[in-house]
């Protein structure tokens, strides 16, 4: 988790409600107005599984930005980063809400309709009734479909629209008062091509492996948790600007299975070849073939958590496995942590708790922040 000092500087009215730092309540400020908000984090602090509760007023302002907020929750590394993103989105939403009440001059509509006709109506996916929000569609050179949402203010084209895209990187447009929608569209197409290699990489992973998380990845998602065998997986974080370079990765599973994979990765790291795909490099370095979903579903890979008896819990799958090869029972990290906390025989050292496996009584540990 990010430091509480940084969070206090960004949101001085948002305060922790417990010692674990999993609950925050207070106010987020934008354009001089305070909005009540409550944020509940899971025990592993994964933002993608956080729950946000807010006042009806804030909910109404952010109504059209839910998918963007979900994307930011998934991609932000910590709460401070997310709150910065939330304040930016809230500023845009408030500005656009205010703009709805500003009467548009006739020139606004004539200019916008002319720009749409020049661009071509076949590129328009949606226009709202007030002609203040437009979605444009485009295909990249590999035939993937993409959308860009434009929120226009009353001063268009003197001022540029706000652009919302499902990208893994920030998309900023270059704009002059004489520009039009076709200039934004051209910059959108150029950005799509600059990310082609990243999406090729992610599509190959999604098509040729069993991706456990995220369940339905967006185009902006840079992480994948890939199954490598029974109750063993590797989590990778791909750099969207350099998708063929060695990614950040860590293994999840029982030590006796995971440790050999770590050793192979470390010993073979010098063999990484940026001229071939990331997936092929991982296969070569780990000396494995990633099993398909069809193969693993026939085995006992998708075992339910041994504590809550569910496979998915708040969107996460079991990622903790008993180290005893004769047991190998998987658990959700949050379930195991709560279980071990409740055992009188468990002991804790800083944020690591040691206790017995609920199934075989072998002593194991789990980390609150894993």
Res 302 pLDDT > 60:
no
Question: What is d(CA 24, CA 37) in angstroms, rounded to the nearest whole number?
Answer: 8
- Domains of the chain: which residue ranges? 2-99, 106-193, 209-286, 320-367
352 versus 248: the higher-pLDDT residue is: 248
57-83, pLDDT tens digit by residue? 788 888 888 888 888 888 888 888 888
Backbone angles phi, psi at 364, to 5 degrees: -140, 175
Any idea which architecture 106-193 has in CATH? Roll (3.10)
pTM for the whole structure: 0.63
Q: What is the mean pLDDT of residues 234-249?
A: 94
Note whether 20 and 43 are within 8 A (CB). yes
Decide: helix, strand or coil at residue 139.
strand
What integer pLDDT is reported at residue 98 of this predicted model? 66
Provide mean pLDDT across the span 310-314.
Answer: 73
Say if residue 301's pLDDT is above 60.
Answer: no
Measured distance CA(235)–CA(233) in Å, rounded: 7
Model pLDDT, residue 75: 83
CATH number assigned to the domain with residue range 320-367, chosen from the 4 options 3.30.40.10, 1.10.150.120, 3.40.640.10, 3.90.1300.10? 3.30.40.10
- The mean of the pLDDT values for the chain is 85
At residue 335, what are phi and psi to the nearest 5 degrees? -65, -45
Buried b / exposed e over 305-329, threshold 16 CB at 10 Å, is bbbbeeebbeebbbbbbbbbeebbb
Residue 159 or residue 215, greater confidence: 159
What's the confidence (pLDDT) of residue 370?
Answer: 46
The CATH homologous superfamily of the domain defined by 209-286: RWD domain-like (3.10.110.20)
Whether 209-286 and 106-193 are alike in CATH topology: the answer is yes
Q: What contacts 24+ positions apart, CB below 8 Å, involve 245-249?
A: 245/274, 246/272, 246/281, 247/278, 249/282
Decide if pLDDT at 230 tops 90. Answer: no
Q: CB–CB of 143/163 below 8 Å? A: no
For the chain, give the number of residues: 370
Per-residue pLDDT at 16: 84
- Joined tokens for residue 12: 């001085």
With a pLDDT cut of 70, the percent of the chain lying above it is: 91
Residue 101 pLDDT:
62
- Report how far residue 323's alpha carbon sits from residue 260's, in angstroms, rounded to the nearest whole number: 14
């Amino acid at each position: 988790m990010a430091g509480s000092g940084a969070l206090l500087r960004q949101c001085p009215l948002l305060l922790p409600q417990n010692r674990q730092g999993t609950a925050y309540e207070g106010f987020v400020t934008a354009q001089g107005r305070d909005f009540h908000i409550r944020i509940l984090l899971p025990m592993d602090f994964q933002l993608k599984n956080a729950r946000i509760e807010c006042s009806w007023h804030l909910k109404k302002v952010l109504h059209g930005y839910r998918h963007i907020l979900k994307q930011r929750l998934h991609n932000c590394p910590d709460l401070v980063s997310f709150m910065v993103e939330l304040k930016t989105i809230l500023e845009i939403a408030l500005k656009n809400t205010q703009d709805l009440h500003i009467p548009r001059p006739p020139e606004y509509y004539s200019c916008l309709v002319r720009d749409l006709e020049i661009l071509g109506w076949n590129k328009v996916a949606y226009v709202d009734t007030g002609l203040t929000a437009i979605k444009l569609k485009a295909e990249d050179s590999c035939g993937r479909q993409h959308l860009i949402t434009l929120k226009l203010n009353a001063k268009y084209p003197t001022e540029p629209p706000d652009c919302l895209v499902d990208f893994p990187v920030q998309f900023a447009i270059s704009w002059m008062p004489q520009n039009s929608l076709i200039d934004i569209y051209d910059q959108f197409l150029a950005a799509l091509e600059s990310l082609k290699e990243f999406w090729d990489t992610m599509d190959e992973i999604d098509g040729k492996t069993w991706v456990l998380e995220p369940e339905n990845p967006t185009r902006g998602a840079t992480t994948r948790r890939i199954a490598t065998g029974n109750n063993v997986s590797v989590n990778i974080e791909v750099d969207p600007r350099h998708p063929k370079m060695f990614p950040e990765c860590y293994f999840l599973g029982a030590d006796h299975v995971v440790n050999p994979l770590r050793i192979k990765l470390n010993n073979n790291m010098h063999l990484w070849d940026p001229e071939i795909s990331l997936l092929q490099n991982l296969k070569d370095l780990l000396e494995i073939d990633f099993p398909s979903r069809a193969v693993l579903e026939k085995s006992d890979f998708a075992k339910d958590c041994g504590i809550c008896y569910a496979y998915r819990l708040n969107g996460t799958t079991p990622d903790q496995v008993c180290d005893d090869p004769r047991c190998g029972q998987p658990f959700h990290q949050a379930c195991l942590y709560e279980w071990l906390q409740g055992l009188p025989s468990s002991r804790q050292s800083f944020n690591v708790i040691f206790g017995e496996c609920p199934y075989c009584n072998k002593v194991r540990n789990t980390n609150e922040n894993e």
